[in-house]
Amino acid sequence: MIEILLPIGRFAWEFALTWWWLFLPFLLFGLFVFTWLWWRTDRWLTDRRWIVLEIRMPQEVDNPFRRMEAVIAGFWQVKIGKNKREKWIEGKIQLGVALEIASIEGKVHFFVRFEQDERKLIESSIYAQFPEAEITEVDDYTKLVPADIPNKDWEMWASSYEMPREDVYPIKTYRSFFEEQATTREEEPIRVDPLGQLLEGMAKLGPGEHMWIQILASPVDRGTGYEERGKAIVDKIVHRPERGKPTSTVKDVETVFSVLATGKTAEQKTEQESFLPPEMRITPGERVIVMGIEEKIAKLMFSCHIRSVYVAKRDVYWGGMKAIPMSYFTQFTTENMNGLKVDGDTWTKVHTISTWFLDKRRLYLRKRRHFRYYKGRFNIHFPRSKGSHILNIEELASLFHFPGKLTAPSAALERVEAKKGEAPPVLPTE
């Protein structure tokens, strides 16, 4: 046996030494494609001009969730169609909007960042639902801190967020945040705004501290397979049989043994149970999950990436502040559905078995990458345009909306004191 294998091994080794270069293009093809797409996309993005708008709300805001859902539905129209040439030659990708909440030394601001060509669409979508809002173009607030963070004077913590289950399972939305009034049944229930907790926490920041939350949202078109994934999970939960699936040999053997043992086939034994449709035989908890999935995939969807950043001078930096955004996103988690939790592969903490293998250097590079991606509004999958998970407009409105002073009374949020309007047409000019 050895006499046979030894010449074969020697021939294979000599062949590899002589013709190794033939396999090199195949080994490097994936790296070449990624680098090429990165380069072309970066060049295309360099020619874009970005605008940051700050939105200030009046004292009272009625139905902020439903109004914001309509606003985000208007944002969905930034969707563009692109062919293969535009993607691979021009580097064109699907642009979206960045929905951001920033606490700058204790003062909370709402920002929307987008490409300049979409300004009329963005402003008209906001004004249509919030006519008393005050929208102004401002400089990028990330320029208020040095660009080389972390450094000897500044420290930071950052993390992205992920879903513990498949993204077809919905997170907790605004329709679940309410409490019944103790007066009369005719009155409307009181809405509890989860954003109030975040605003109060951000108000605790002092001089030299910044906390930013960013939601990158890119429109997702129909026909991407997302709805099919949701329907497949629903069919699995309700035990709906798959159509057109051939029976296996194991199933046939089980049928034979069932007839020999009981005199009835499995279909005959379950005839009484199958009288009801599958939807009627699921538990109440399963019914809630099915309804949640079906309602989620029925609305407009965005591919999203969510991250939070805490930046502060070293003399005032406190690591416990990272719990503020983490606890905010925890409010949208349910055990039977889905939620948002810290992505352990992205947060600014390095886990290694040994403590000597370049831990400090790796941690520094991870922080630099987080800060650079936040300023550039890139997701962790750049240059690919997809996000970490898919959220519909109802879920996005629950995470990012303009709260009224009744539900979010924090003094850190600046509001419009008086409505600005045009002069009456009968006003004398002399």
Tell me the per-residue pLDDT of 251-279, one tens digit each, with 9 for 90 and over. 555 555 555 555 555 555 455 455 556 66
Distance, in Å, from the CA atom of 230 to the CA atom of 236, rounded to the nearest integer, reads 10
Let me know: does 94 contact 80? Beta carbons within 8 Å: yes
Q: Span 350-361, mean pLDDT?
A: 66
pTM of the model as a whole = 0.82
What lies within 8 Å, CB to CB, of 298 at 6+ separation is none
- The DSSP string of 102-152 is EEETTEEEEEEEEEGGGHHHHHHHHHHH-TT-EEEEE--GGGGS-TT-SSS
Identify the residue whose tokens are 């699921």.
Answer: 282
User: Could you tell me which of 105, 107, 123 has the C-alpha nearest to residue 52?
Assistant: 123
User: Could you tell me which of 381, 337, 231, 213 has the C-alpha nearest to residue 294?
Assistant: 231
> Strands 415-416 and 50-58, how do they pair?
parallel
Distance, in Å, from the CA atom of 430 to the CA atom of 424, rounded to the nearest integer, reads 15
Q: What is the pLDDT of residues 206-259, one digit of tens each?
A: 999 999 999 999 998 877 788 899 999 988 888 766 644 554 555 555 555 555
Q: What is the pLDDT of residues 16-57, one digit of tens each?
A: 778 777 878 888 888 888 888 888 888 888 888 999 999 998
